[in-house]
């Protein structure tokens, strides 16, 4: 009952953004907390041999429409960010540095605000100045963040989180591990809910 739920995401994934909008409230309704863990989707997909959605033209047009419909059906603010889709290393690195220096709560708030800025408001979270602004609102020093997030140990840590996730059976995002069970995709949050309710 008291174990944490782990939520794996990549800041570049809109489905992860949708899950990010819901996961904490869902967990809290069952007296649980969530550990937010950034990973690199590209590293996970490589391991399964699955192409990323934007690499399959037939599928990509469909996914774009599915994103709009999913957002509408679940009443989540969503707009396709400029330059989407793209790889995003910066916010994950920034989050991990913040987690190391300021703890999980501030790091999670930072991640949540990054997601909303990117997919809700179309703000470029690949821009370090933007990340500094989001972090500063949470009391994080701008200069320390800019220096810390590019330290080799932090860059390495993001890769390690992806490797650890993969070793735990995580092969996509969003992904949730709870009480030994795995849930892949925003559309599986009802399954997670059923599992939490059954305990």
Which range in 26-34, 45-53, 104-112, 120-128 contacts a second copy by CB under 8 A?
45-53
> Is the preceding peptide bond at 48 cis, omega within 30 degrees of 0?
no
> Is the preceding peptide bond at 85 cis, omega within 30 degrees of 0?
yes
- The vertex-18 CA angle with 151 and 33, nearest 5°, equals 70
The correct pick among 28, 42, 56, 136 for binding a second copy (CB under 8 A) is 56
Asked if 169 touches a second copy (CB under 8 A), the answer is: yes
Phi/psi for 78 (5° steps) reads -150, 130
Give the residue with the Cβ less far from a second copy, 78 or 171: 171
The correct pick among 50, 80, 156, 160 for binding a second copy (CB under 8 A) is 50
Q: Hey, how many other C-beta atoms are within 10 angstroms of the C-beta on 103?
A: 10
Distance of alpha carbon 147 from alpha carbon 169, whole angstroms: 33
Name the nearest CA neighbour of 14 among 173, 182, 126. 173
CB of 161 to a second copy, least distance (A): 17
Asked if 62 touches a second copy (CB under 8 A), the answer is: yes
Maximum Cα interatomic distance, the chain, rounded to a whole number of Å: 47
CB of 71 to a second copy, least distance (A): 11
Contact yes or no for 173/10 (Cβ under 8 A)? yes
Distance of alpha carbon 31 from alpha carbon 29, whole angstroms: 6
Give the residue with the Cβ less far from a second copy, 148 or 172: 172
The correct pick among 43, 47, 109, 144 for binding a second copy (CB under 8 A) is 47
Give the residue with the Cβ less far from a second copy, 2 or 198: 198
Which range in 2-10, 52-60, 106-114, 135-143 contacts a second copy by CB under 8 A?
52-60
Binding stretches for a second copy (CB under 8 A):
47-51, 56, 58-59, 61-62, 65-66, 69-70, 72-73, 169, 171, 181-182, 184-185, 187-188, 190-191, 194-195
């Amino acid at each position: 009952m008291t174990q944490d739920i782990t939520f794996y995401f990549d800041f570049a994934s809109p489905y992860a953004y949708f899950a990010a909008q819901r996961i904490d409230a869902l967990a809290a309704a069952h007296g649980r907390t969530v550990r937010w863990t950034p990973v690199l989707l590209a590293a996970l997909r490589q391991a399964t041999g699955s192409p990323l959605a934007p690499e399959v033209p037939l599928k990509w047009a469909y996914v774009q429409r599915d994103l709009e419909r999913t957002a509408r059906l679940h009443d989540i603010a969503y707009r396709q960010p400029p330059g989407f889709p793209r790889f995003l290393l910066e916010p994950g690195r920034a989050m991990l540095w913040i987690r190391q220096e300021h703890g999980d709560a501030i790091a999670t708030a930072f991640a949540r605000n990054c997601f909303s800025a990117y997919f809700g408001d179309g703000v470029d979270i690949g821009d370090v100045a933007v990340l500094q602004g989001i972090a500063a609102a949470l009391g994080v020093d701008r200069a320390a963040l800019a220096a810390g997030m590019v330290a080799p140990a932090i860059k390495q840590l993001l890769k390690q989180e992806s490797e650890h996730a993969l070793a735990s059976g995580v092969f996509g995002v969003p992904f949730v591990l709870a009480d030994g069970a795995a849930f892949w995709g925003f559309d599986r949050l009802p399954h997670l809910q059923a599992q939490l309710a059954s305990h």
